[in-house]
Amino acid sequence: MKKSLLVLLVVFALVQWWRQDPVVDVPGSDLEFGYMVEYTPGASKNARLPMLVALHGNGDNAKHFHETALDALATPARVVLLKGPISYGSGKAWPWSPEDFEMYGDAFNDAVQQLEKKYPTAGRPVLLGFSGGAMMAYYQAARHGETWSSVIAVSGRLTEQQLGGAVATSTAVVHAYHGKSDSVVPIGGGKSAVRLLQSGGVRAELHEFDGGHLGIFTEMKVEITRAVERELEAAAASW
């Protein structure tokens, strides 16, 4: 009886371990980012593929974001959904304060570079962020634009105070989307973020749409999905 119970406990522990999403360690620090990997239909896990790094909104989680915002992607790609490093309600969140960005901003870029080494990637990654995730996406475009082929920020913001310094040289193109009636992150935040990037020489454009904060899941889902697919195809073609 005891032996059977021990076997069951071992099996249970292995199942729990197998279910756990992996983490990527940040070299030279004690920080780490949890993540999950998904593949679009027809994509081979062992193939060299364009990489989409996707960032959920604050309070959400990677799995739910994939199932509701990215489930229609058809271009062969590896989708890496990083988890926000800050606990927030029942989910996770991305940096908000200048102090948080100072702690996690560069570490995030280092983590992505580790993931590029782990998974065979065609071209530079594409970065997509929504809401709180879009704030991190804007930050990466401003500070680490050389890492990305393009950045897509939806319903986010970034201020000079949050950035905490000058915009760095960037080769990435930034496509920003923001609803005109967004009451969570008013569109002025998106406009200011785009102007901030442009002031530093980043190629950034804002696409305004009729709708609110959750447009990526509703009226803008098809358009944003197509934009992501175009950027993934361009990244793959550049390799």
Q: Are 196 and 168 in contact (CB under 8 A)?
A: no
Q: Are 128 and 152 in contact (CB under 8 A)?
A: yes
Domains of the chain: 24-237 (3.40.50.1820)
pLDDT tens-digit profile, the chain (239 residues): 556 555 444 444 333 334 478 999 998 899 999 999 999 999 999 999 999 999 999 999 999 999 999 999 999 999 999 999 999 999 999 999 999 999 999 999 999 999 999 999 999 999 999 999 999 999 999 999 999 999 999 999 999 999 999 999 899 999 999 999 999 999 999 999 999 999 999 999 999 999 999 999 999 999 999 999 999 999 999 98
pLDDT of the residue at 53: 99
Please state whether 95 falls in left (phi above 0), alpha (psi between -120 and 50) or beta.
beta
**Strand pairing class (23-25; 173-179):** unpaired
